[in-house]
Structure 1
Amino acid sequence: MERMTRWMLAHRLPVVLVWVALALVGGALAGGTIDRLSYETRLPDRPGQQANDAIAQRFDHTGGRNAPLLLVVTVPEGTTVDSLEVRRQWDALVDRVTPPGGRSVSYRGPGSESLVSGDKRTTVALVYPPATASNAPYERWLPGIETAVAQASIAGAPVELTGQPVLSGRNSGAQRSPIYETLIGAMGALCVLILVFGSGLAIVPVLMAAVAIPTTFLLVRGVTELTDVSFIVQFLVTLIGLGVAIDYALLVVTRWREERAKPGTDGPEPQARREAIVRTLASAGRAVALSGATVAISLAALVVLPVPFLRSVGYAGLLIPLVSVAVALTLLPVLLYSLGDKLDRPRRQHRPDSRLWTRIARVTTRRPVLSALVSGVVLLALAAPVLALQLGQPATSTLAQGGQPARTFERLVDAGFGEGIARPVEVLVVADATDAMQDRLRRINGVAGSVAPPGWARDGHQVIDVWTAEDPSSGGGQAAVSDVLDTTRQNPGVLAGGGPATDADFIEAVYGSLGLILLFVALLTFIVLARTLRSVVLPLKALALNALSTCAAYGVVVLVWQQGYGSELLFDTPAVGAVTIWIPMAVFAFLFGLSMDYEVFILHRIRETHLDLIAKGERDTVVPSVVTGLSRTGRLVTSAALILFLAFTALASIPITDVRVFATALAAGIVIDATLVRGILTPALVTLLGRSNWWFPRPLSRLLAVSRQLPGVGAALVTGNGQKSD
């Protein structure tokens, strides 16, 4: 690290020119990069994907994964929908609103009794327009359909339009650039930095983010040449990139100020400036590199998944910390060397130790058992709701609050059509076997209805739509969908697709090998931390606390979004009833790495103090190391967490429900981690573990190719009990 830093300082102009060029090119191409992002969420080689592809191929990209529009009418009392005039009007309307190339079904066909209510006053038609691969697949056709429906009436009764595409369209958000949210996050971060530094240095971390974000977009553009990259990546790069880049720069700048404030290093002379930066990068630079490595390792969990959508999120996620680390270790030292002293105005006496965090550390180390118990109980209480986590798409009834489409869907359910009609399973079967298969599907417990109109037959195959009484994301709905899939897959040549089938495949693909993925991430993280901290106990403790912190974040998501305690107050959105399938895995990948940053910052400083005390001949190093480490990193961790929290808050303002749920989990996890976990539980456990914190057996040190000799202690070695031996 020292050699690299000296080289950077000796070649300042080329370093600056390279980064400026990357940022300018990346910024200029950012709009085009965003346009290349994909809205596809394919699952290659999965049965549901094969069914959806076969349906799309035969039926002009209608149906499959995309849910139908629902046309609904309730005729006045004394009239029934099976009267000749009502039937004629209804058939004409359904034909009129079905776009060219689309398909639809109403009760006019044989075997369509499922589309008429028991009192014969309400009927529903399913309409599948041709879909586009976007966040709003029916955007081309929906305005015209809505106009036609608004002008129509059947037997004097108004016709209404509902269904998942209509309801979700109200809070799914238009396709737009995340620039607005990024500016909000940047302004919030700048306010925090002004409070931290009280000088012109506040602008430095923001400048580093301004270089890191467009550079990351440039690299993402390269990834789009090789594979599809999800549209969600644009929000991750801008807002998570903003927080991570600022956090890493904040750590380096804070340590640089500390080094410049040491006796004998004040003044503008080049040698003093150079040595302060070299010492800064030798300590804080290593912590930044280690933090970036842990974030990258956790995101590898997404890269190894057999889901292209999440793999692309993982690729982009890997680029965020790597670019941020590169900027912090190369461009930032050059900027501090050239302008650091000039920007640090008005210069005030720098106090590396925070009085507040010193008091917190002393209380925690004085009462470590009580501190660990209280913080542990609170964390377990926050994590407890995760036991009720329900994976699936948001329940249709929760997608929109108020409004006519929501009331119409409610009336459909009350009329006995079943919540699952908004997201039916689409079964593709050989035409000759349609009647037998439909009869078997109808008899499945939990199935509310099915249709198989003759017009849905092509190339010797026919589509059967079957739906459940309960929402497919609910416990009962998932059980019924599972039975439907089992029934279809027992018959060769029969394919089951649609949204519910895709959800089942998605859960299997993402979580089927969860244990191996978690083991992979934990092992790599342990190796990196063990090599750096020269300890077995500290990495194991860090992994355990990260797991607990992540579970607490999941618990908050279940409370807020699944059970609705605060979703309307915070986001003006009702509870979604289920957490979208990809979110827990993505939250784990990002939160595990980001929260490990704070653990690394604190433990790295504790270890550094521990080594200094050993070099001075001190025997009792545990409590002084914890107090010094926390007092000098507590304020930093709090500020960094606040900046990330503001970035995630800006992310949560994007009107896409899945993004909001994702941002809620990250924001909650960061706050919980920076306060309860790193502020109280980590120092309490390090205090309780005592000298065993530094246990590092000789066989493991040889296996990891790590020297047991401690820097700054000469030839002394630390033994298993933490004492020195010659």
Structure 2
Amino acid sequence: MAVHNPLAGLSLKAARWSATHPWRAILAWVGFVAVSVGLAMAVPTVNADGEDYYMGEWGRATQMIEDAGLDNPDSEVVLITADGDLDQAKAEAAAAELTERMRATDGVDAVAEPQWSEDRSALLVSVQLARDQEDVTDLQAVTEDVAADHTDLQIGQAGDNSVDDAINDQVADDLSSAEATSVPITLILMLIAFGALIAAGIPVLLAVTSVTATMGLTAPLSHLIHAEDTVSSMIVLIGMAVGVDYSLFYLKREREERAKGRTTLDAVEIAAETSGHSILVSGFAVIASMSGLFVVGGATFNSLAAGSILVVAIAVLGSITVLPALLVKLGRWVDRPRVPLLWRMNRRIGAGGISSRVLAPVVRRPAAALVVSVLAVGALAVPALGMKLHSGSLETLPTKIEEVQTLRAVADKFPSEGPAAEVVVRGGGDDARAALDQVQEAALETGRFVSAGADPIRTSKDGETSVLTLAMPYDEADDRVDRALETLRDDVLPPVLDDTGATYAVGGGAASSYDMVDHLNSYLPLVIGFILLLTMVMMGFAFRSVPIALVSTGLNLLSVGVAFGLITLVFQHGWGADLLDFSSPGFVIDWIPMFVLVVLVGLSMDYHVFVLGRVREYVEAGMPTRLAVRKGVADTAGVVTSAAAVMVSVFAIFATLSMMEMKMMGVGLSAAILIDATVIRLVMLPAILVLLGDRAWPGRPKDARGEQVAENDPGYALV
């Protein structure tokens, strides 16, 4: 078989070396994984910190506050309530005990006097920690002891540190549960796909070792690109999907060639030139897609991009090196031991047995199939037009976490403890500091802000920087928070502060969310264009066909639309909320669409490239386009179904986890890939290819006169 592409030549050379030096290749892979794990143990991981997340006006305000030494130390609050009417005497006694014991606790800077809610149904004790104090376990122990002594009261503690600790514990539990579930489910799916234990275990083994090696290498990589907390879950998510898929494509083709009577070595070489080429093209497409996250910038997206690119590159490396070596050493033992029922079922169904029934009407009536499928997919994508983005808030945190319940109750009983804006003024002398009093008065007159306490203005020791805190009487996710910030920035501040000569900016938690959403809304169209253009160029280069590149880009865009539409329906509008055990926050968490976009485009290219590669083989062999499409799609349908089943299963596990971000990722990716692998790639793609005919393959065989042969010409050689 001739090599038509440099990538195919690369995969073939790698496979030949590995096949002729199998033990070297296997030991090299084992050594690589071991060294990677050793690096993780020897090199400390550098986690992203506050400065890595700064962006927009909020970032400037936060930096000004830190430079002036005005950043507040962490704090915790203890809320005292009751099931029915609150006994005020008992509540005050509990608060007094809490205050006394917490003031005596190490790491506590100050404890404020207990504060009653407006309706006197709740009592709040605020605790300010010493600077750089993060451990709150001693405070939590005090709260638990006092709660045990006052069983007729409800006493709960919450704060940035305690909530973060609880969330981290919950995420760790969720991820360990997902990892423990995904591996056996993937193994079961591989058993169904192959009907033999060794064949089923190889893809899972490659995926697990790829993920393990990546986890190890992220430690030294974090010194260049600081690691974000969510990167480990993303590595598992992507690594299991691509690692299994790449092995599946390769192994299926090798078994197919052996079934035709070829030797194991010849079968491995053919698989390297065909499936290996598809793996390289797909891997580069995934990497190109993930690189779009670097365009957005910021700690979260840079970390996710680095981790995903690394795990895909390692999975590709394993697929074209250690996988051929394993197949050569195992030979026909790869089909042992067989699972009798599953083995017979695979043989009975054969290649494309089920898909042929779907493909037959599509190939016969391509125009009708295309119209119906476009209408169906378009209907699922339409809700994305109304998608609303917002940063994660209390509404998106799991209610099963006690600290989250406490924070929600605090925000309800004490509005001043809700979202706040911080007006930072640097320079301008006494005029600027005096102007903050006017700013506060003007802000309160708008009706969108409330007083943040008796002393809302704090000034640095050198007198150069002052900060005014303004509270908002709304929930974090309320649209009125954004309107309040816009009023403050556009209408209140300029008339008062522009003439003072001071530098000013608005920060605070609410501003952080607002600026992040604004940043993502600005970059989302750019990233979509970047990814689609880059993958279009890659597909055009890989298949030497402009129509194929355009079709691939269009189908990717449809897949993204479906994902966005489904996420909007489920999480913004609450469809299926009871089934997935969550309460709709009324919005989509801001970074989810960007992440789903790059992951979906990258992963859907796996089987897209695999299908097109097989169709092109038949076209280059001289088969009529219509028949090449039908046979190519049918022959690869089983592999595509298995690959999609793995992705859908792994992502669906994330939809069952507690964290809303995980649910959104899981639902968006699993549902979109299911539709992409069936309706889009099994109906729309073949329909478009049949309608394009020879125009899709400008390099197809020509007759002796150098003219392209018509599809109905009997001179075509059928394979």
2:672 counterpart (669, 674, 685): 669
Partner of 2:480: 476
CA offsets 1:45-69 (integer angstroms, 9 cap, x no match): 6331232344456568636xx8974
1:283, distance to aligned residue in structure 2 (A): 0.8
1:596 counterpart (602, 605, 612): 605
1:3, distance to aligned residue in structure 2 (A): 3.2
2:420 counterpart (417, 424, 439): 424
Cα distance in 2, alignment partners of residues 609 and 442 from structure 1: 73
Of 51-60 and 248-257, more deviation after overlay is shown by: 51-60
Partner of 1:585: 594
Q: 1:341 to 1:39 in 2, by over 3 A?
A: farther
Q: 1:304 to 1:711 in 2, by over 3 A?
A: farther
Q: 1:166 to 1:333 in 2, by over 3 A?
A: same
Of 595-604 and 239-248, more deviation after overlay is shown by: 595-604
Structure 1 unmatched ranges of 5 or more: 109-114, 266-271, 615-620, 697-707
Partner of 2:663: 660
1:116, distance to aligned residue in structure 2 (A): 5.7
Q: Is the 8 A contact 1:449 1:466 kept in 2?
A: yes
Other structure's SS at 1:574 match? coil
1:657, distance to aligned residue in structure 2 (A): 3.0
Tell me, yes or no, if structure 1 residue 688 matches structure 2 residue 698.
no
Of 39-48 and 579-588, more deviation after overlay is shown by: 39-48
Q: Is the 8 A contact 1:562 1:575 kept in 2?
A: yes
Other structure's SS at 2:321 match? helix
Partner of 2:651: 648
Q: 1:353 to 1:323 in 2, by over 3 A?
A: same
1:553 counterpart (540, 563, 573): 563
Q: Is the 8 A contact 2:702 2:709 kept in 1?
A: no
1:631 counterpart (594, 613, 634): 634
Partner of 2:6: none
Q: 1:714 to 1:527 in 2, by over 3 A?
A: farther
Q: 1:25 to 1:501 in 2, by over 3 A?
A: same
Partner of 1:285: 276
Q: Is the 8 A contact 2:389 2:589 kept in 1?
A: yes
Q: 1:70 to 1:400 in 2, by over 3 A?
A: farther
1:360, distance to aligned residue in structure 2 (A): 0.9
1:366, distance to aligned residue in structure 2 (A): 2.2
Partner of 2:389: 391
Q: 1:577 to 1:496 in 2, by over 3 A?
A: same
CA offsets 1:633-679 (integer angstroms, 9 cap, x no match): 11111111111122223444554332332232222222221122112
1:342 counterpart (325, 333, 348): 333
1:388, distance to aligned residue in structure 2 (A): 2.8
1:138, distance to aligned residue in structure 2 (A): 6.8
Cα distance in 2, alignment partners of residues 535 and 592 from structure 1: 19
Partner of 1:197: 194
1:225-374 equivalence runs, <5 A: 225-262=223-260, 264-265=261-262, 272-345=263-336, 346=338, 353-374=351-372
Cα distance in 2, alignment partners of residues 246 and 371 from structure 1: 31
1:165, distance to aligned residue in structure 2 (A): 7.2
Cα distance in 2, alignment partners of residues 132 and 587 from structure 1: 36
Other structure's SS at 2:390 match? coil
Tell me, yes or no, if structure 1 residue 450 matches structure 2 residue 452.
yes
Q: Is the 8 A contact 2:563 2:668 kept in 1?
A: yes
Cα distance in 2, alignment partners of residues 139 and 389 from structure 1: 38
CA offsets 1:536-576 (integer angstroms, 9 cap, x no match): 22221221221221121122222222333223422x33223
CA offsets 1:570-627 (integer angstroms, 9 cap, x no match): 2x3322333222211111111111112222122222222222234xxxxxx2321221
Structure 2 unmatched ranges of 5 or more: 1-8, 427-432
1:354, distance to aligned residue in structure 2 (A): 1.8
1:251, distance to aligned residue in structure 2 (A): 0.4
Cα distance in 2, alignment partners of residues 24 and 489 from structure 1: 58
Cα distance in 2, alignment partners of residues 379 and 577 from structure 1: 23
Partner of 2:4: none
Q: Is the 8 A contact 1:61 1:131 kept in 2?
A: no
Other structure's SS at 1:228 match? coil
CA offsets 1:411-465 (integer angstroms, 9 cap, x no match): 76776x65x8433223334654442222122233533443362684442344433
Give the total of aligned pairs. Answer: 679
Q: 1:182 to 1:535 in 2, by over 3 A?
A: same
What is the TM-score with the length of structure 2 in the denominator?
0.82
Q: Is the 8 A contact 1:36 1:224 kept in 2?
A: yes
Residue identity (%) = 26
2:522 counterpart (489, 512, 516): 512
Amino acid at match of 1:467: A
1:196, distance to aligned residue in structure 2 (A): 0.9
Q: Is the 8 A contact 2:199 2:335 kept in 1?
A: yes
1:361, distance to aligned residue in structure 2 (A): 0.9
Partner of 1:618: none
Amino acid at match of 2:421: V
Cα distance in 1, alignment partners of residues 510 and 541 from structure 2: 46
Cα distance in 2, alignment partners of residues 406 and 191 from structure 1: 37
1:628, distance to aligned residue in structure 2 (A): 0.8
Partner of 1:215: 213
Amino acid at match of 1:185: S
Cα distance in 2, alignment partners of residues 389 and 599 from structure 1: 28
Cα distance in 2, alignment partners of residues 209 and 667 from structure 1: 19
Cα distance in 2, alignment partners of residues 210 and 98 from structure 1: 45
Q: Is the 8 A contact 1:70 1:125 kept in 2?
A: yes
Cα distance in 1, alignment partners of residues 404 and 334 from structure 2: 56
Amino acid at match of 1:566: G
1:468, distance to aligned residue in structure 2 (A): 2.8
Partner of 2:429: none
Cα distance in 2, alignment partners of residues 67 and 690 from structure 1: 67
Of 29-38 and 237-246, more deviation after overlay is shown by: 29-38
Cα distance in 2, alignment partners of residues 373 and 131 from structure 1: 63
Of 48-57 and 631-640, more deviation after overlay is shown by: 48-57
Of 366-375 and 297-306, more deviation after overlay is shown by: 366-375
Amino acid at match of 2:302: R
Q: Is the 8 A contact 1:444 1:484 kept in 2?
A: no
1:80-159 equivalence runs, <5 A: 96=103, 100=107, 117=118, 129=129, 139-140=136-137, 143-144=140-141, 146-147=143-144, 150=147
Amino acid at match of 1:693: A
Q: Is the 8 A contact 1:289 1:325 kept in 2?
A: yes
Cα distance in 2, alignment partners of residues 42 and 218 from structure 1: 22
Other structure's SS at 2:562 match? helix
1:382, distance to aligned residue in structure 2 (A): 2.0
Q: 1:467 to 1:13 in 2, by over 3 A?
A: same
Q: Is the 8 A contact 1:394 1:577 kept in 2?
A: no
1:219, distance to aligned residue in structure 2 (A): 2.8
Of 634-643 and 459-468, more deviation after overlay is shown by: 459-468
1:608 counterpart (603, 617, 627): 617
Cα distance in 2, alignment partners of residues 244 and 409 from structure 1: 40
Cα distance in 2, alignment partners of residues 281 and 653 from structure 1: 37
Tell me, yes or no, if structure 1 residue 19 matches structure 2 residue 33.
no
